[in-house]
Chains A and B, each alone.
Chain A
Amino acid sequence: MSNLAPVLEPLTILIAEDSAADLLLLSTIIRRQGHQVLTATHGAQAVEVFTRERPQLVLMDALMPVMDGFEAARRIKQLAGEALVPIIFLTSLRESEALAQCLDAGGDDFLPKPYNPLILAAKINAMDRLRRLQATVLQQRDLIAKHHNYLLHEQRAAKAVFDKVAHSGCINAAPNIRYLQSPYALFNGDLLLAAYTPSGDMHVLLGDFTGHGLPAAVGAMPLAEVFYGMTAKGYGLAQTLREMNAKLKRILPVDMFCCATLMCLSAERRVVEVWNGGMPEGYVHEVATGKRTPLVSRHLPLGVLSAERFNDSTEVWPMALGDRVFLLSDGVLDTADVNDQLFGAERLQQVFAANREPDRLFEDIEQALAAFRGQARDDVSMVEITLQAGEPLRAAEPMYADSGQSCPLDWSVGFEFRAQTLKSYNPLPYLLQLLLEIHGLRKQSGALYSVMAELYSNALEHGVLGLDSGLKLDARGFAEYYHQRNERLAQLSSGYVRVHVQVVPTPTGGKMTLRIDDSGPGFDVEQVLARPLDVNRLSGRGLSLVRQLSSDVRWLDGGRSVCVEFYWEALA
């Protein structure tokens, strides 16, 4: 049989044929070609032999007693499942209808009688190649499925770890935050974080890393750590942004960065401070007037610029209680319809305009997106925060490493921050850390931070920079105030803010005196204090707050120096 096509690998072949002479002829030919032969003389026997022996290929006569070849072929194909067991019909059938019947039953080829050994060998080899191809495809499919499962498992594990970090904030706890995110948004590069500052303001970050999958998720971890760490310690947006930018710049490859909006909402001061680097415009929604102020991107994303070129300047907008801030990821605007047309900001504006129930805004947007394109995209992130009063001041809990036995109780320290420092450095987190060495004060850390922050900013803005808080009477004056603040700070060449802390023990615990002096002209203390405590005006709220929160407030030196005291009971 040297003239036959070479056999790749001996196969086990089942021949089902009721004619004894044909069966003998065929099995001899095939055996000579190097294969192992199993025989059956009717269809039922063929199915039985197949079940027992699992041959790799079947030669099947069409017309046989007991069970014909069509039925047997159907059953064998079912038994074979996903694996390809080629069935070659042995037939002298000429009618196309009968041939079609063979194919319907799962036949892969025909061998006409009388048999030609050369053609038979060629057909067996061709079918064997198909069979191997199918086996390879199945194997690779299983391999891909395995890799896919592995990937999902990795993502689940990464997400579990990340959720522990990401959800350490108040994103799920705060009653005034609503958000909508795919559960695996992390792997789309979308990141949403929120946390309270020591003074009860809320910091919120909506970020969007370049890319997808694990590469998009890796940057989220360090970003979240910086966000939570610095927010809890009382750092402002500028320092937090600088740290985030520097960290991402350092660890991410050049083609990776993070578009982000970072904001600070202060119910106490009725403002939102915003920095937007590369994110779509969010909005401040003034509920009373229905006006929506866009929060325009003014910066490059985080992780692009070097520290020297990074711009941390923020914008400040007034907010009334009940006003809302809305942020979104580009998945909303970049949602494309079947013609690759984008949803876009204009359609979003239309949804805003049509929205009647503010609490159903997300649903309205989702509906509009669904109507626009008909299927869900998995990287749509939205968050809306309502400015609410009465959020309790929260102590920054997680950062004490000592047990309290070495708590210092009798000391004083003084700082003088001069013009160059005042321009860019915020000493408050450092001072707070220092004061929290006193265990008795930790319970009051929120109040302490708020008072310190207020007095420091009064000393800087009204004292050193000479700004008039009377400007902040309306929204326009408010913007003007912050404009002047930035301008004067940039030009500042002299002046100082001094901070003096004195800690002394008392019979029942201790007392901390904080004095803040500034180089400004002072103010008419009597007149300012004569004003009633007023929590509804944009200006003057600071002093009301200080007077509510600290045990004692005194102004000295014509308003150039202010002194507050905090007491605590000895710990049991």
Chain B
Amino acid sequence: MAEIHLDPDVLSGLQEVMESEYPKLLDTFLDDSQKRVEALRKSRDDAKALGRIAHSFKGSSGNLGAVRLAQLCQRLEVESVGSTADLGALVDQIDHEFALVRPMYESERERFQL
């Protein structure tokens, strides 16, 4: 199954809904996501904290069309409850996925220079 990293339909839908607020939404998401990725890294050994951050991150990345990122967050959220799995590997995957989609959002943002 081909992995979708960023759903272009979601982005066009958001642009329609947000109108002039669309660039700001992208900025906010990037900024917010950066903080969450850092928070995940810091909480590698705290399953409970990981679960909570993953839950929020899942919501916003889902809303912004970062489909793969949302799926990874979902897995982390679910697996943090059992805490038997290697959560660190999942955090790394999320880190990696964000690094992948980040330039895509940035180039989308470039289209709306002030």
Chain A contact residues, CB within 8 Å of chain B: 18-22, 24-25, 28-29, 32, 61, 63, 90, 92, 113-115, 117
Contacts and interface: CB of A to CB of B under 8 A. Distances in A.
A25 B18 contact: yes
B1 interface: no
Nearest to B78: A94
Which 5 pairs across A and B sit closest by C-beta, in order of nearness? A21-B29, A114-B62, A114-B63, A19-B60, A21-B60
13 contacts: A19-B32, A19-B59, A20-B28, A21-B29, A24-B21, A25-B18, A28-B18, A32-B19, A92-B59, A113-B58, A113-B59, A113-B62, A114-B62
Given A19-B32, A20-B31, A28 B25 contact: yes
B48 to A, nearest CB: 12
Given A24-B24, A114-B62, A18 B56 contact: yes
Nearest to A93: B55
Contacts of A19: 32, 56, 59-60
B62 A21 contact: no
Contact of B28 (A21, A29, A90): A21
A61 B18 CA distance: 20
Contacts of A90: 59
Contacts of A20: 28, 31-32
A547 B17 CA distance: 112
A329 B29 CA distance: 81
B52 interface: yes
A19 B33 CA distance: 9
Contacts of A114: 10, 62-63, 65
B76 interface: no
A61 B59 CA distance: 10
B94 interface: no
A115 B59 CA distance: 9
Contact of B25 (A24, A63, A92): A24
A21 B10 contact: no
Contacts of B32: 19-21
A90 B56 CA distance: 11
B14 interface: yes
Contacts of B29: 21
A30 to B, nearest CB: 11
Given A20-B31, A21-B32, A117 B17 contact: yes
Nearest to A116: B13
A2 to B, nearest CB: 12
Contacts of B65: 114
Interface centre among A92, A115, A117 (most CB of B within 10 A): A92
Contacts of B25: 21, 24-25, 28
Nearest to B51: A63
Interface residues of B, number: 24
A22 B62 CA distance: 10
Contacts of B59: 19, 22, 61, 90, 92, 113
Interface in B49-94: 52, 55-56, 58-60, 62-65, 74
A22 B60 contact: yes
A278 B36 CA distance: 88
Contacts, number: 55
Interface string B6-22: 00001000100111010
Interface centre among B31, B60, B65 (most CB of A within 10 A): B60
Contacts of A115: 63
Contacts of A21: 25, 28-29, 32-33, 60, 63-64
Chief secondary structure at chain B's binding surface:
helix
Contacts of B52: 63
A32 B16 CA distance: 11
A149 B84 CA distance: 67
Nearest to B62: A114
B87 to A, nearest CB: 18
Nearest to B63: A114
Contacts of A92: 55, 58-59, 62, 74
A63 B53 CA distance: 10
A114 to B, nearest CB: 4
Contacts of B19: 32
Nearest to B58: A92
Nearest to B22: A28
A63 B54 CA distance: 11
A286 B10 CA distance: 99
B65 to A, nearest CB: 8
A26 to B, nearest CB: 9
A92 B51 CA distance: 13
B74 to A, nearest CB: 8
A28 B62 contact: no
Given A28-B17, A92-B58, A115-B63, 16 more contacts: A19-B56, A19-B60, A21-B25, A21-B33, A21-B60, A22-B59, A24-B21, A25-B17, A25-B18, A61-B59, A63-B56, A90-B59, A113-B63, A114-B62, A114-B63, A114-B65
B63 A25 contact: yes
A28 B26 CA distance: 13
Given A113-B62, A114-B62, A25 B14 contact: yes
Nearest to A91: B59
A113 B28 CA distance: 17
B101 to A, nearest CB: 13
A27 B56 CA distance: 17
Interface centre among A25, A29, A63 (most CB of B within 10 A): A25
Contacts of A113: 58-59, 62-63
Nearest to B20: A28
Contacts of A61: 59
A20 B64 CA distance: 12
A63 B48 CA distance: 13
A25 B64 CA distance: 9
A29 B13 CA distance: 12
A55 to B, nearest CB: 21
Interface centre among A18, A19, A32, A61 (most CB of B within 10 A): A19
Nearest to A64: B56
Nearest to B26: A21
A32 to B, nearest CB: 7
